Every structure is written in C-alpha cells, then in structure tokens.
Amino acid sequence: MPQLIQLPLFIDSGDIKEIAKYLKMGLCHGVTTNPTILVKEGVTGGSATIKKRMLEIAKLIHPYRLSVELTQNDNAQSMLAEAKDIISWGAPNIDIKVPVHGPNGELDNLEVIHTLENEHDIRVNCTAIMSAQQGLLAALAGASYVSLFCGRVNNMGYDSREEVKRLRTLIDQYGLKSKIIAASTREAINIMEWILAGAHIVTIVPAFITTMLVHPYSKETVQMFLADAKKNR
C-alpha cells in the first residue's frame, strides 16, 4: 500500500457527525482531541465512554491519524502504562498525545516520548508547546508530531508565525522526522498564515471551514449565474 501523503488539515473535534461531514468533502486529514473538547461535546461517563468514541472516530477516518490525549501525567510509569493501554485498543491509526512537560514543569514527559517512539514504535504527538525551543527538544526526543499552540502564543503577545518558521528551519536543518502541527486556532486567517509560515499541519475548528469557503462575492456570483440561466429557459 503506498504511503499516505500528509495533508494539512486536522479537524479539532470529537463530534462524529461533524468529522464525517468534512471527511466526505476531502477536508479532514486527521483528527485531534483532548479532554476539554470531549467534555464540551458531552462525552462523559468515564474511560469506557471515551474509548468507545475514540474507536468510532479512528474507524471512521482510517487511515488518517487520530491523536488521543493521556489523562495520566504523574510520572513516566503511569504515562507509559496508559499509552500502552490506549494502543491495545487495536486501532492502528491512533497516536498518543503527551504534553511537553508535567503540570509543574516535571521533565519525565520527554523520556516517555523517547521511550514510546524508540522502544515501542508508538507515534507521539507532543502537545502544549509554546516556543520553537520546546518544539526542538520534543523533536529531538523523537516525537512524530510537535503541536505548537500558536493561538496561545499570539495571546501572549508574540508572533506565532515566527515561532513556526524557526521550528521548521531547525527540523529541516537537522533532518528530524517531526511534523509541526499549528494548534489552538483562534481565527480563520490563522490557517493560511501558519501553513505559509511552515507548519506541516493546522488543527482547524470546523466552523472556520465555512468561514474560509463561503465568500459573499462567490454567493453573489452564483446567484447571478442562476438568475441569468432562468432567463434562457
């Protein structure tokens, strides 16, 4: 089977109907989830409910990738155990989301990333990255994906496009395998800005697809075509 070419849009959602809608349009090239997204979409009831939803999404989008977030972040052993459990669900297109460090700056996470990628052949999406230097360290640890939270970078008063450019330059310069995911999208314009800055992938809030696609002048033009067509009937 030929290798799947990485296309640039990951849908940031846990809603099956929403994901299916954009998959049929050819606009869903992967899916990212996290506990906050799932809670907002009413996925409650504990680990069994989360597992059921994740397996439904993984089956729907296969062979595209689905990132599933760890809920354990206490120490390396608990994170590794949870990651292995998620992989044991049997969906071949699931990747594990691991934050770049612990809630209080603990350093176990990069060890977990390195171990999962290099000893267990498990793909990791390293998340909560706010700078190119963090992204470089995650890439050196072996993460398949490095998620730069560009929207939050902008919120802090920095230009996220510059962080994307710096990180892409470093990844290319050293031949690292990591793909940059520009995440935490705040405006529709972010998608094009971050792709042009060098991100391999952008996570897109589904509502922004409509914003990108529907243009008032396009609507006006289509309406004009239809009106003129009726005159010739």
Taking 50 as the pLDDT cut, the residues of the chain under it are 1-2
Give the pLDDT confidence score for residue 1 in this predicted structure.
34
pTM, to two decimals: 0.93
As for how many domains the chain has, the answer is 1
Q: Is residue 39 part of a domain?
A: yes
Asked if residue 2 is part of any domain, the answer here is no
Examine residue 3 and state whether it is found in any structural domain, yes or no: no
What DSSP line would sit under the chain, residue for residue? -PPPP--SEEEE---HHHHHHHHHTT--SEEE--HHHHHHTT--SSHHHHHHHHHHHHHHHTTSEEEEE-S--S-HHHHHHHHHHHHTT--TTEEEEEESS-TT--SHHHHHHHHHHHHS---EEEEEE-SHHHHHHHHHHT-SEEEEEHHHHHHTTS-HHHHHHHHHHHHHHTT--PEEEEE---STHHHHHHHHHT-SEEEE-HHHHHHHH--HHHHHHHHHHHHHHHHT-
- Residue 47 in any domain: the answer is yes
Active site (annotated) includes residue 97: yes
The answer as to whether 57 is a domain residue is yes
Which CATH number fits the domain that encloses residue 65?
A: 3.20.20.70
In a domain, 174, yes or no: yes
The answer to the question of residue 4 being in a domain is: no
- The reported pLDDT for the residue numbered 4 is 62
Supply the range of the domain harboring residue 28.
9-231
Q: Residue 3 has what pLDDT?
A: 55
Catalytic choice (17, 52, 97, 230): 97
Query: What pLDDT is recorded for position 73?
Result: 79
Does a structural domain hold residue 1?
Answer: no
